[in-house]
A and B are shown apart, each in its own frame.
Chain A
Amino acid sequence: MSAPAIAVVGLSDAGKSTWLGALCDTMETHIESRPVRIEMDGVPALFHELRGLRDALNVGNYPPHTAIVHHADLQYPLRCTNAKGIERFVLDVSDYSGERISRLYRRADSHVWDDGWKERAGRTRLAVLLRADDIRRLSRRGLEPAAPRKGLAHVIPTEHQPDISEAERHPPTALALIEALQAMRAWRRVGMGAQLEVGAERVAILLTAWDKISVETRNRGPSAFLDQGAPLLAAWLRSNFRAKDLRVYGLSATGGDLSDQTHAKRVREVGVAAAGYVEHGDPMQRIHDVSVPLEWLLFGKHLSDP
């Protein structure tokens, strides 16, 4: 049987590369006290790009943009080592680049699958990244000269109607992600609103740039934030996945803003693995290990929890 694969999905600038870089540093930083360790599992050449992302972070810069064509091969064999043994899995960033998800949203005849999508739409473990501080909403037209009105447009004021051209340029976060996730489920012949049995699929929502959210909002927890910040996405997720198979994390892969020189210096000193953290749960807890969501995706629980 092939190893399970975790797909990483997110729009452009969602923080995928930053998280992967921090993840790489976490994997290569040995911490005695950590009971569960995610490690690389393959020849070093396979992790060349991943290390490049890590290196950029550790000198205090955000990683460079990853070209579309290069997404095709970004699959990393990893393993999770804990007291009970070793679980091998694949972290798959391939073909879920922000540009491709945007394209999926944009195309009228959507779900035109290339081979990469077909191969990977079967992934049942998804890490969905969206920037907590930049959840893009559907643009409205504003007060433009009235265009011919059709259908429901009669009852919707012009300024509240969607701005299609802007939406194509910058797809609304929730809609684009729902479109992508729904398309992947459709490929697997899972109907809308169908909830598979517990454990059949798991989705971890990673709210990146979590440190940029105000303390009061953060304290209410990532789930509450998602409900408030992306209610459509939250409702869609809750109606399509079982509660046990859905978890929301606040993720600060770098622990702060690298454009802040003070923080960038700290990252240079301690390394991004030590600086990054995730927050989750109720009551909320902070864990300085950005690989925790992978652990949950693999096992449905945090092995390190008591």
Chain B
Amino acid sequence: MICHQVWHAYDAGHGLRAASIALSPDERALLDDLTDLAGYLEPGQGFTHYDMGYPCGRFYAFSRTWPDLENQRPGTVQTHSFLLSPQDAQLLPDPRVLDNAFFPRPFRERSSPAFSLEINPAPVTQPVTPFEERVRLIDSWFGTDVRPLILRSHAAESVAWLWRRLPAWQRSRLAYCTYTVRARSLRHRPFDILGAAPGSRFSQGHDSVPKLSDIAREDLRILVDEGAAQQFWQAAALEGVGEVDARLWARFRSLEKNADANPAAALGALDLLPAFLATNDGVALRGRVVDRVIRPLEQRAAGEQVPGELANLAVRDLDRVVEGANRRLNLVLEAFLRARLPMLDAADLSATAGLLRAAARGGRGEVIDRVLTEVLVSSSSAALWEVAWMVRSDAAWQVWQQLPNRRREEVGPILLKLSLSALGGMFPFVFEDDDLWSWVETRDEVIGFVGAELERLIAAGQDWPPDRRMRLPAQRLAPRFLASSAPLPPPILRRAIAGRFCEEPEALPAAPEQVPQWLIAEWARYTSVGDLGNLLGARPRVFSRIVAALAEHDPNEGLDRWEAMLSAASGDALLDIPGPESVPGRADLRARWARKVGPIAIERYIDSRIELDKCAAWVAVAHDDQRVVDALEGVPIRSAERVISLLRHPMAAWLRRRPDIVLQAIARWMHTDNLLDGGGSEVLCAFLLELRSDSPTAYEAAASGILAGILEHPAPQLAKLAAETFPILHDRLCKDRKEHWLIRMLEHLWGGDWDRAGHLRERYARAWFDARWSGTNLWDAAAHDSRLFKQLLREVKHLSEGRQRLRGIRDFLPDSARELVDDVL
């Protein structure tokens, strides 16, 4: 099989130095990135080499990376890669067959040409892994979005094991790395970090293959342990402590026991302290050391009275001792925490929390926070988060806020459980954090957990109402509770949910039948009208159910609330407020409701131009004419058509008895342009016709008002109305108004049905005559239509002195009109 070679090294930037084949930009970019994975190393850290394997464009890449010790710049690496076709790569029995083929190039040969090799590995042997295991294996590697898999810390054995067991076609999809990479460093890359370290479940026994996520969690934990332990021993070595052994421990204990009597011995004990702090006994000891040794020294340094032999030490010495002790303690505490915290289990919680509290009291909070943040970033250990939460909640909270979503999945439930259990008041801030609750709201399982936890707390008799810390989470989760098929929530939750939806009614289901009855009942009984205001506006149909529930529950109380609701309701919200038919059936109760609520309802309904049925129903039960009259007077002008509707409605029987009120309203509408919008004249004509058959007197009064209005505000749309109205009213008009009106009428009617308006011609001619207007005026009024002009002239001619008048105007007319006058004369 053909094996292409590529070398990467640093030369004013890490990059490709030699290749035996032309690479595409994508292949080259991937190689450039992954051949320089080592990254930041702590001082003193290093590595000999690490291997990687990953799909790379047309190839599968096997590479080995060494630190580039020949380069002047520290931190640089050199990488040798073999590129095989995926088909060839599948045939490799084990990546380790290439072990001897990797070699670093000397500095001066970095850019020398590279050549392809031909290799002949051992005959391919298909894996003999049982089918079930293979399925589990593939599931564990590839049953996740996280890819490719990167192994850590000398995991070459694991890689080989895996490679041998994977079917050939899956090998080319595997990606591995035997180097440690910090997980968060791979953001914006198509990779994520998962680990397999020596000693992990994965690499210890291959009899069972766990899910990939389990592997990751377990191995990360172990790796953190390894790193922490290493740092601990480094710190211990710096302090000259070396390994902890029983003799040191015994010596320390004896010195420490005599600390009161012999402070100098206590100071000697300090030198041994680091070793013991790494043990469980040391944890308990820490508090005593602070009390007996450090604190007196610090007191002495501060110039306070210190009894015993400590007083004989020079202040300078004490300062030095205190400073040294502090420094050592900080170092050792840090090392201890790094070693111990990742391995915490529930049994250690109390002791560890005690240690941390004591250390924090001793001014070492900064050390604790530093270690905690570093450890928590990669830990999902419930015990660790709990102890952090208990002792250094600010630090834990900062870490949480900086965690990526993937980690929040693991840590979030832990924090929630801790927080919800902390009704003692330790962590109120968590309940106010939108970040956390926004995350919670998207997680079904967490919702269930929170609900159960809330119920448990309620059952345990926790204070309510209303514990603010419990109300907030319940409110945040309210929509999810509705969406779930949860049984009846406990009272505190019901109250919280009801309140939440009053604040944010848009979160409610649009269909009222989807709102559970318990929620309706909650609103009806316990929520104030003011709080229900938003709900009324956004979900009126839900609101109507509330009112119905209220009436059913307690009519007496409901009376006041209904009245208040009607007053508060506006616009379309009234549409769904139930009518009087929903009042309970008892006659006396119904009458009370009608007396109290009816007038308000009528007023509101008419005012809102909606729900005439309900309005009529209320009129029927309220028997309060005056209310209706008052209300009708206030009907908004635009709703003229509503009056007409009213007239046709069962309610009209009542309204017809009081046309004066209707007409008053109409007279007011006439003075606005609104009437002319949207067929207002049609509406008024219809109204008049209705009225004429019912009440001629009222009709005339109305027509008079309309005519007056038209004269005030002439408009083409009113012509028809005026044509209907004028014959009745003509005789009542004063002369000036009549003439003026006639002219207007003719103007309006000219383009319309003149013949139908023929009965007006005589009147118009007379008006023209009486007003002594000019001939031009008449000619203009006829719109220069000779036929109509002649008709008008004939009307004038028949009047007394009509002929003379026509002769008088003749000379002032244009020639064409003058001929018409001559004809008529």
Contacts and interface: CB of A to CB of B under 8 A. Distances in A.
A116 interface: yes
Nearest to A95: B188
Contact of A115 (B43, B73, B188, B399): B188
B184 A73 contact: yes
B54 interface: no
B32 A65 contact: no
Interface in B178-208: 181-182, 184-189
B39 A67 contact: yes
A103 B29 contact: yes
Nearest to A102: B13
Nearest to B25: A107
Contacts of B370: 44-45
Contacts of A55: 43
B75 A72 contact: no
A12 B12 CA distance: 6
B12 A65 contact: no
A133 interface: no
A123 to B, nearest CB: 15
A62 interface: yes
B188 A68 contact: no
A121 B363 CA distance: 44
A68 B12 CA distance: 13
B15 A64 contact: no
Contact of B75 (A64, A98, A108, A115): A64
B33 interface: yes
Interface string A82-125: 00000000000011001100110011110010111001000000
A43 B15 CA distance: 34
A69 B186 contact: yes
A60 interface: no
Contacts of B33: 68-69
A243 B334 CA distance: 51
B12 A52 contact: no
Interface string B370-414: 100110010000000000000000010011001000000000000
Q: Chain B, interface size: which category? A: 35 or more
A107 B23 CA distance: 12
A105 B674 CA distance: 69
Contacts of A109: 25
A250 interface: no
Interface string B60-100: 00000000000001111100000000000000000000000
Contact of A170 (B12, B43, B74, B182): B12
B15 A102 contact: yes
B47 interface: no
Contact of A63 (B39, B75, B181): B75
A191 to B, nearest CB: 26
Interface in B354-370: 369-370
A70 B185 contact: yes
Interface string A240-284: 000000000000000000000000000000000000000000000
B36 interface: yes
B10 interface: yes
A107 B402 CA distance: 35
Nearest to A134: B12
Contact of A69 (B36, B76, B374, B399): B36
A216 B823 CA distance: 115
A55 B14 CA distance: 23
A6 interface: no
A192 B76 CA distance: 37
B217 to A, nearest CB: 20
Contacts of B665: none
B486 interface: no
Q: Chain A, interface size: which category? A: 35 or more
Contacts of A66: 39-40, 75
Contacts of B25: 106-109, 112
A45 B40 CA distance: 14
Nearest to B76: A65
Contact of A99 (B13, B34, B39): B13
A61 B13 contact: no
B109 interface: no
A115 B191 CA distance: 13
Interface in A33-54: 42-46, 48-49, 52
Contact of A68 (B32, B42, B73, B377): B32
B74 A73 contact: no
Contacts of B38: 67
Nearest to A65: B75
Best-buried of A43, A63, A73 by chain B (most CB within 10 Å): A43
B188 A45 contact: no
A50 B13 CA distance: 20
Given A43-B399, A45-B370, A69-B36, A64 B185 contact: no
Best-buried of A66, A67, A102, A106 by chain B (most CB within 10 Å): A67
Best-buried of B40, B370, B395, B399 by chain A (most CB within 10 Å): B40
Given A13-B13, A43-B402, A45-B377, A68 B36 contact: yes
B37 interface: yes
Nearest to B394: A43
A56 interface: yes
Given A95-B188, A103-B32, A170-B12, A45 B39 contact: no
A197 to B, nearest CB: 31
A70 B40 contact: yes
B373 A45 contact: yes
Interface in B19-37: 25, 28-29, 32-34, 36-37
Contacts of B39: 66-67, 69-70
A116 B12 contact: no
Contact of B42 (A52, A98, A103, A112): A52
Contacts of B42: 52
Contacts of B36: 67-69, 99
A167 interface: no
B14 A43 contact: no
Nearest to A70: B39
Contacts of B402: 42-43, 46
A11 interface: yes
Contact of A62 (B13, B73, B77, B182): B73
B128 interface: no
B185 A69 contact: yes
Interface in B144-201: 181-182, 184-189
Given A44-B373, A116-B188, A52 B40 contact: yes
A100 B13 CA distance: 9
A13 B13 CA distance: 7
A56 B29 CA distance: 29
Contacts of B186: 69, 72
Contact of B40 (A67, A68, A95): A67
A23 B79 CA distance: 32
B41 interface: yes
B40 A12 contact: no
A70 B365 CA distance: 30
B185 A72 contact: yes
A114 B188 contact: yes
Nearest to A71: B185
Nearest to A97: B13
Nearest to A116: B188
Interface string B282-308: 000000000000000000000000000
A74 to B, nearest CB: 9
Contacts of B373: 43-45
Interface of A: 11-13, 42-46, 48-49, 52, 55-56, 61-70, 72-73, 94-95, 98-99, 102-103, 106-109, 112, 114-116, 119, 169-170
Top 9 A-B pairs ranked by shortest CB distance? A64-B75, A12-B13, A116-B188, A67-B39, A65-B75, A64-B74, A70-B39, A43-B373, A115-B188
Given A12-B12, A95-B188, A114-B188, 5 more contacts: A42-B398, A65-B74, A68-B36, A72-B187, A73-B187
9 contacts: A44-B373, A62-B73, A64-B74, A67-B14, A68-B14, A69-B36, A72-B186, A98-B12, A170-B12
